[in-house]
Every structure is written in C-alpha cells, then in structure tokens.
Chains A and B, each alone.
Chain A
Amino acid sequence: MASTLLSRYACPPDRYDEMLDEGGRVRPHWRQLFRHLESADAAGMSQRVEVADRWIQEDGVAYNVYADPKGQERPWAMDPLPLVIAAEEWRGVVMAVTQRARLLNAMLSDLYNGQTLLADGLLPSALVFGQHGFLWPCIGARPPGSVFLHQYAVDLARSPDGNWWVIGDRTQAPSGAGYALQNRLIVSRVFPELFRDMRVQHLASFFRELQDSLEHWAPVEAGERPLIVLLTPGPYNETYFEHAYLARYLGYPLVEGQDLTVRGDTVYLKTLTGLKRVHVIFRRQDDDYCDPLELRGDSALGVPGLLVAVRAGRVLVSNALGSGLPGSGAIMGFLPAIARRLLGEELLMPSVATWWCGEKPAREYVVDNLDKLVIKGAYPTQRFDPLFGRELRGAARADIVRRIRARPQAYVAQELVNLSQAPTWSREHDQSLLARSVGLRVYAVATPQGYQVMPGGLSRVAGGSNALVLSMQRGGAAKDTWVLADGAVSTFSMLKRVIGARDVVRSGSNLSSRVVENLFWFGRYAERFDNAARLLRVAVSRFIDNAGETTPDLEAVIELCILAGIVEPGRKDEDDPWVPVGTRLSAAIFDTSASSSLASMIRQVLWSASQLRERLSLDHWHSLSRLQSDLQIAKGVRPALGETLMFLDRVLQVSSSLTGFSMDNMTRDNGWRFLVVGRRIERLGFLAAALGDFLTSYPKQEDLGLDWVLELTDSIITYRSRYSRQPELLAVVDLVVFDDSNPHAVIFQLQALLRYVERLARDVGEVPVDALLAEEEILRNFDLADFETGPDEACAALAAHLGRLESAAYGLSDLLGMRYFTHVDIVSHQILAS
C-alpha cells in the first residue's frame, strides 16, 4: 500500500530510482529504512531533523560559498536520510574505483616520466602541454613508491538503466571526505538503532589507512617520527571547515604557506621553539600555488623552494604536485585505450560520453548536437561555468560555436546524464519524501597494498526536482551514504595505536608561530569584549534605573565609556546635534559599522577563533556560535533597553564559559600560556585605564562613581561582606587595586601576568618585563595612608602609576609580537626583465 510517505514522491519513467523498483516496490536494501520512517511519528521525526540542523549549526559545519573576505559562511546543508547501497553492488563500485585510481596514477607517472602515452599518440599533447595543470618543473620527479595520487575522488552518477557512470575525477586535492565523516557522525546520531541494525560499514578505517600510508611513504631518517602537516590556503577557502576538521581528526598541525619555510632542500615548520623538519605535506591547496619560486609567481600562499625539496625527495607532498592533470574531463574519451596500454585491462566503469573538441570529427559532432550536450572547459584551471546546449539561443549559441571553433582544444562536451533520484526528507510537509537527483562522490586512498575505497562517501542531492547540476553552491544538499555490510561490521574507530613510553609527547612542540599568535589575540579579543560588555552593562543598567534622567553618576560612567572609546561623545562637533544617551548606548552595542562597538568586538573574537578552529574544542564552538546567533537576531531590530540588558547578560555568560573552557579544558602548553598572557594583558590594560580615569575624575565627582567601580570589577559582593556599608574611597581602592586576593584587582592581574610570562620564558627564552616589574614594586609599596592625608593628591599619584602600568602592559604585547610571532614580512617576487 502506498503510504503517505510517498504521496509527493514522483517517479518519472526515464530515471532510475534508488529506493523504488520499476514496479514501485521498495528495493530490499531500503526496506528497513523505509519501514522505520513509516512507523516514526511525525513530531519525533521533525524533532530529529531539527536536532541534526542544530548539530551542524553548533559544530560550525560550514561551506564558504565564495572566497569572501568578510568570512561569509553558510551552514552545510544536509538531508538526514542516507543513500543506501547494497553490499553486492558496492563490490562492483570498489573494483571500478580502485582500477580507475590505479589507471590515473599510472598515467601521471607516465606523463612526468617518459611520456610514452604522447609518443604513441594515445593522448593529445594539447591536453598535457596546453594545461596549466601540467607542472613543467615536476618533470622527472618520482614520488616515493611512484604514488602521485594518495587520495582520489570520483563523482559517480547512475543512468536510467541502473548502471553507474563516472562523471568527474578529482585528483588535485579532493575535498569532501571530511564532510562525509561529519555527515556520518550526525546521521548516525539521528538514526542510532537503524544505523546499527542495518549493519552499515564504518568509515574510520579509511582515515587510518590514509595516516598509515602517509607515514609509510614519509622520507624519514632512521629512528625519526614523521612530522605531517595539513596545508590549507586559509580561512577564506570554501572548504576551510573541512581542513580544520580533518586536521583535528587526524592530529596534524594545520598550517598555511607562511608557516613553512624551505632551507636548502628541506622543509621546516616555524614553531615557537625554532624550525622543525616537515616530512609530509598533506595539501588542500592547488598545486600551482604551492611554490612561487618555480610555479605561479603571483601566489602569496605558497612555500618558496618547495619544488627543490620535492625533487630532492626530502618531502612527500600528497597529492604529488602536478596531479591535477587528469581532472580534465577532456581525457575521459582517451581512458579506455590508455587502460589497455598501461594496465592491460578494460575499463570497468565507463565515463560519461565526452567529446574533446580538439579532434575535428568530435568538434563537428558537438556543434551539430549542442542540444543534447553540456559544454565545459577542457582545462580544470579555466574559469568557465558549464553551459547547457539546450538553454543556449540566438547570439549566445552563435558565440559559443565561434569560441569552440576558434580554440577547439579548450572545450569538451559531455552528454547530459539523467541522474538517478533518491528520497529526501521534506521539511515543508509532514511525513513526506521528495524525489531529488542524486550523485555520489567516492574516495580512495593509496596504501602499500593498493588502493582502498572508503565504504561510503559524499552523496549530493540537487536543490530542485529537475536540477541538472549537483552543487553545494547552488542550493543542493549533502547526504550520508550507507554501504551495507555482508557479514559483521568492522567496528574499528580511530583508536590510538599503541604508543610506547618513549613516544609520549608532553609539549605542543609543533605549535606554529602563527597558531601561537592567533591564540594570543584570541585571548586579548575575548577579554576585550568581556570588559566592554561589563562596562556597557553598568551604563545601561544605570540608564534604566534613572528612568532616562541624566544623573552625575550616569554621566561619570558614560564619560568613562567615552574615554575607553566604546561610546560616542554626545556631539562630535559643536555644530552637530546632540545625540541622546540611549541612542548612543544602543549603537555602542549593536552597530556593526563602528569598529569599537561590542558587536564588532564579538566579530573579532569569532574571526580569531575561526583561525584556530582545529585548536578549539566543540564546546568552545557551541558558545561562540550562540554568541553569533544572538548578534544575528539583534541585527534586524534594535532591541529595547530592557532586552539589551538581557543581551549583555547573555554575552557575559558566554564570555565566562569561554574563560572556563580556556582555564579548565585546554592543555597547558605554551600556546595556552600565550592565550592567557593575552587575556591578562588586556584586562590589566583595561583595569589600569578605567581606574586611572576614575581616580582622575574623583576630586570632581567624589563618591558618585564608587558603586560602579565595584560593579565594573565584579567586587560588590566582596566589598559588602567585608564592610557592610556604603562604599568609601580608601576601601574601594584597596579592594580593586591593591588586594592581591581579588582576581579583579590590578595587582592580582599584574602578578598573574608576571607569573605566566616567567613560566613561558623557561621554554622560549627571556621576555623583557622590567617596566612591569618596576610598576609592581611601586604598587606594592604604595602607602594607602596617603588617601587619608590628601585624597586628591593620592588619587592623582595613583592615576599616574596606573597610566604607566597601562602602557607597560601594551608594551609587553608589542614585544611579544616582535619576538615570537610570524613576521608577515613583505614577500616580494623578483623577476628580471630582458
């Protein structure tokens, strides 16, 4: 009987349906899932979908749609229903994919050593010499084990007759395996019983094989453990989430080009404690950007001299530099003959019919049959969006024909594939499945025993029911892929292998200088927004208490906010109209266009956190993403003052949970010390400035500001429990400046800072802190009795000390920067004209 599940599920006759057979019956390997969905109650399912969405949101799974400097991220779109594949069918896929991986690897090996394929006319030279992806300086380079492709991904589609076809090869730095893993973690949590009962094959062994292989081929000296790094182009890249995710999962330092340096023919990581030799670079960066010395000179991302190290066999780059070549669809038509030549085998899985226009008969066919074809660039580096022939009319059609005839070798045409369809869960309707086009990306990894295929993969469904293109950029979604097991499921997970006592690593010795710098600034920014939020909360609550009236103590707080650069003055020029305090406070909190606003500070925190993704725990992320969504909500309508106060409370809660994570959950390595030092410097600077301003204005304002000084330093409770009376100057100053048991006192912060710096100095060398030490001495010897004899003079003297302390604190920040952080010195490219 047709359940309500299928009431909206269309089955056009010209497409293969993954779930239903020709008679509309559920295929055997889908039955368990289908029955589960039928019996699940509507509310329960929508709740699960929501939970899955929230995981994606909170884990920060994102896909940057464009390399946008504003860091525009879009949450990863995922459909909770997996694509199910039967065990027997999968065996065929595995055979075909491993064969293709072997073939493309052998082809690369030939093209960089000997080029018999060109000499024998099995491949046109236009598709090798004409490709920017063919890297001339790599000719003759033989990677260890002759493996060019350590990782290989292939896009598969199923035609109406039920056969799988290859529609694309990914050989450069295949992306998506990390997303597949993330999808799996989420979907298996959405359907935990089903996942177990259906005997779905696990993914973890694939990543273990990848690690083993990289270690196996790493060019190490005897007794050396290989240092493997993951090279990313950085946070602007569309799959940066995945880079950070994989780095964390595999335990590899995530590095950018500037973190590495080549000395002679050896690659090193710049760490806090000096240069560390790198043996393997697992790269997620396109190869032509990898070495500005010999490849693209305009690359700011690469490692100058890398090719020297590669040719000398001193570093393994995975995939090998130059492996992007077979990513061109243009070679597909040549593969059957190449397979016969290089492997002596017939190709097990066909490629989608492809015509390279560089051959005359193919070109004429393409021009005559445009309606049936999709036109693509022949070179992966070409910026050319696929064009669907049947959508081209008039001038556009004439134009593409002209372009093809003018430079035929730059174009290929592919037959349109009627993709198969799979069920997705409808978010708009109750208990409904929708049919969507689906494609599958499968991953293989080279091992010394041959290629191994990930039992699963990244399935992608199109955004609409008739969409021709599967693209995460165009509103599509990803799916988990469940490959069913024949027998027992191997429950291997990424457990650590046995580590001997001498392998134990205690320090984060592979901390790159850049990571350390980011941790330091993360600490400073996190503290900065906390300080600002505290100050603004004092101001807003005073403002509300006074019911809009201006009182001297409110003015004093506002004045401090203005001095701290957080709130704008009432008027900038004498001629300007007066801006009411309420408006200014609201702007100071929510106005993202003002760089000093709380909203902007939160953005800075989020930004520096995003540079540290692989170092921060998921809990950290959850707090940060909550902060971001709070801010997002406030973006639309500026909340009323009461709600603003609640917002500030929430911000401070998140802030203190961040502090908690930093203090309780992070390993106390030198990176962590830099984070804490950053926090201390910021708080010390802020306290010194705020209290200095307060003391300077004290003779004028007298006791008016004492309450908010206590509030600002979170010291009200302590004060009350000690004195049970109205705040008085001497006692307040003692508590917030001189009391070394109060964590919000100046001296406490100063001494803590000095302790951390001293501990740091043991590992990384001396840090000059003379100025801070001198101030500490002065503070310790300051005579509180001065406040009895001449309060005004005492205020002025202490304010002056605090001013010097503030500059000493920020001075230390500069010193640390100069000494330990990556100097992003200007890299320039010299090239001599004729």
Chain B
Amino acid sequence: MNALDYAILLGTMLGIAAYAIWSTRGGHDLRGYLKGAAQTGWLTIGLSVMATQASAITFLSTPGQGYESGLGFVQNYFGAPLALIVVSAVFLPIFRRLRVYTAYEYLGHRFDPKTRLLGAGLFLLQRGLGAGITIYAPAIVLSTVMGWRLDATIVCSGLLVVAYTVSGGCDAVSMTQKYQIGVIFAGMIAAFFFLLAKLPPGLGVSDSLVLAGGFHKLGAVDFSVDMNRRYTIWTGLIGGMFLALSYFGTDQSQVQRYLCGASLRESRLGLMFNAIFKIPMQFFILLLGVLIFVFYQFERQPVYFNRAAWNDQVAHGQGVRLHALQADFDAAKAQERAHLQAWLDARHGGDPAAEAAERTASAAAQERAEAARNETKAILRKASPSNTANDADYVFITFILDHLPHGLIGLLVTAFFAAALSSKAGELNALGSTTTVDIYRHLARGGATDAHYVVMSKLFTALWGFVAIAFALFANLAENLIQAINILGSVFYGVVLGLFLVAFFLKWIRGTAVFWAALASQALVLGLYFTQSISYLWYNIIGCAACMALSLILQAAIDLGGRGGTLPAET
C-alpha cells in the first residue's frame, strides 16, 4: 500500500465515523438510543440488515472459498428468503405490537423472567464470542499480508467502532452501515471488472466459465442426500432456513436493525430486500473467487498464499523442501497452461475429441499442482501449529495486492475494514441493548430514569467492545473464518429459535416446561457437536426440534402431575 491507499483508508473510515458521531450528537432518550428516531426507511433498513450480516470475513474469505471449492457455498443461503418471509409475516408484527426493545423481552411477556434471561444469556454468550471473531478475522489476514502489528490492527479498528457506536447508538449504527456498504459494493464491483480486464487476451467470460466448469468450480447446486456433505441444496434450504430464521428472527443484532423502521411496511420491505438480493450477492462474491482461480491458471501463483507463514518456515530450515514444492507446483502449472491453451484452441476450432483430450490432460496437471499445494499446506501446518488460519483466506488479498492498481488497493482494504466495523457495530449495539434491558433493568435496577439507562447502555456497549477486543487479541482459529462464524451460530441458534417457535405456535406451553427443555436441548447439541461430524447446519434443526419436542413432553408431564408453570401472558 502506498500513501494514496492509506489516505483512502484513513480518510474514509475516520470520515464516516466522525460524520456519524457529529450528526447523532446531543441527548437521547432510551427509545431513541436503542431503536433510533423511528424514521428509518426500507432501503436503510435493508442495507443495515445486509451490512450487519456481511462482515469483513464475507468479503475477504468467501472469494477464497470460491477459488478452492467453487460456488457450492452459495447453497448455505438458499434458506434465507424462506426465513425472511417467516420473520416478516410472524415475528416482526408481534415485536412491533409489543413495542419491545429486544427480542428476549418478548419471551418475558410470553413465558416468564427466567426464560427471558435464558434467551438473552444464550444470545450474549454466542454473540459475545462471535463479536471477537468478527474483529479478529480480518485483522489476522490484513496484518499478516500488510506487515502490520496484529494487536495494533485489532485495537485501532476496535476502538473506532466502539467510539461511534457508544456515542450515537442505533441511529449512528444504521447511518454508518449505509455508507460503509456503499464503499464495500464499490470496491467489490471495481475488483470484479479489473479482474475481467486482467484475464489473458482472447479469454472472454464464456471461455473462463468453460475452464471453471471443467475444474468443477461451477457446481452450485448439489442434490445429494449424504448427511455428511456440508453444503447441499437440502442443508441449504432446510438447515440454512433454520439458521437464517434464528439469526434474523431471534438475534438482537438483526432484530434491532429492523425494529427501528418508521413503520411495519418499511421494516418488511427492508427484510424482503435482503430476501431477494442475498443470494445474488453471495453468488457474485463466490464467482469472483472462481474467476481468480481461472486468472491464476495463466499467471504464476504462489504454492501457498500466506507468504508470511511460508517465508517464516523457509527461514527456519524448511527452505529446501518448500522451494522444491514450489518448483514442482510451477512445473505442473506450466504443463497445465499449455494444455489449457490447446483446450481453448480445440474448442474454438470445433474439435470435440481434441477438446476432451486436452481437458483431461489439464485436469491431470492440475492434480499434480494440487498435490504439491496440499503437501506444502501439511508441512506448514505441522511446522507451525500456531499458523491456524486457512490459506484460502489469503487468496483474494494476495490477488488484490499483486495485481490491482494503487487507489483500488486502498479502496478494497477500506471495504474490508468497513465491513468489519459495520457488522461489529450492529453486534455491539445489540449486546449493549440486551445487557441493559434484559439483564440490568430487569435484574439489577428497575424503575430508574431514562437518562440513567442511556448512560448504562453506553457503558455496557463500551464494555462489550473491550471484551471483543480482548477476545480477538487471544483468538486462535482453525476453521475457514466464515465457517467459524456459522458453526458458532449453529450450535446456539437452534435452541433459541426453538424458544421463539414454542412461544409463537404452541400457545399452551408455559415457562417452566420450555425453560428446562431449552437447557436440555442445548446440552444435547453441544454433546453432538463434540462427538459427531454431521454438517453444522443440521444443529439448527436438531436444537430447535429438540427444544419444541421436549417442551411438549415436559408440559404434558407437568399437567399430568398437576403442577402448572407460570401462566402465559397475552401476546
């Protein structure tokens, strides 16, 4: 990065934060601080919901997934439109009618205080951990590649988001998210067109897709019913729907975004905006990764993208072996390149037999290159167990730094930070609100003034920000970063969703039954997670189904025993 890139990065990030602080200055009442001025339109809500979900990991790591595994990850989002319809039709009208600040307040209305605390506690636990990951994930990749200090990157980006979230509350979060997502889209679209322009002369989009298809990178929909496959249309539609339903319907970081709508209509349209554009957005980001894969078939690429880790091991006695693997990789790639060119020539010349033969030869050369890459990964993993980030996370940033012009590099790094801060702000805003409304006001000090709760909400938001920064400073992740977020969510979300579905649809079940059912279900999901290897998306269904089924059984047992739980309140 040069001075221009740094100017774009610092100017944009500090400018957006300063504008948000300035325009939301002045006193707030509790409703204004936690839910905004209730003037938010559907587009701001839609972009805010999108920005909260799409963290830096989405833009940094997802192209790497596309590069390594193709488009299959897009299936993860197939259930999102279904879930958003349910949230819009069922959850949202009830939350608005009860005028709740948090989703868990509704559990208190419907069941009892302990169930409300359980819902809020599960949210604080998993979102508190997740907040650390959203700040750590981009920092580890960017600091490694740029040579920045990891701790300084985490602390500086963390403090910036804490500053404007604490200062302006919900309005500041929505406002910054709108500008930040604009920066993100501008950066990603510019990168896409620069990538197309960088493809070898004569290699058009159609030829690129043919090559990608030949390497099985375009398999976006898998109809397999194998439970061990992580992404199929079934895990996406069913598991993905439950994950999205839990996330959009019960996670306060999302609920808070659409509760600030000027009316039910604005909130609903904001959700439907996401229902329509979420899948194409993810497809576009994955396609970017697939096209980077095609690009690197014609350009020299490193056998291992995390050059800092590679150089570190070269300096520590692995140099001969690693250089030999790079040479094997280069040789296989050179052969592959020749076969790819012959494949394209045969295709343009209308010779299907030669096309098939060259395609097979290209695939064989690609396998040899992949074997060298896999061996390199194994050596680096064994030599440095602390190097736990997935190499695919470094693909996109390596492409950006090696092949894009200055100015655009600055814009894209700004986009990654904008994405990190936008999702982080939504999370901190929600963590602060839930701690204030569901824990502090409910347990510690009810009946205080609005001004007191606003001060406490600011304090709790700042506290969660510092917790997230501390967690990020000590984090150590083995999974691909975006998957780590989804796995963490899936382990807890199913049970929370179960609580809400019982509340909405099983009207005769009372607080005591659902409370113990939720605890038992969470224990079941954690037990399965640590002992089984099924796709993590299924945990959403298992947790939800177990919570609902056990609630029915326990309520029946309580009724039979003649000891009812707390009577349900009006909803």
Task: Specify whether A and B are partners.
Answer: no
Binding site for B on A (CB under 8 A): none
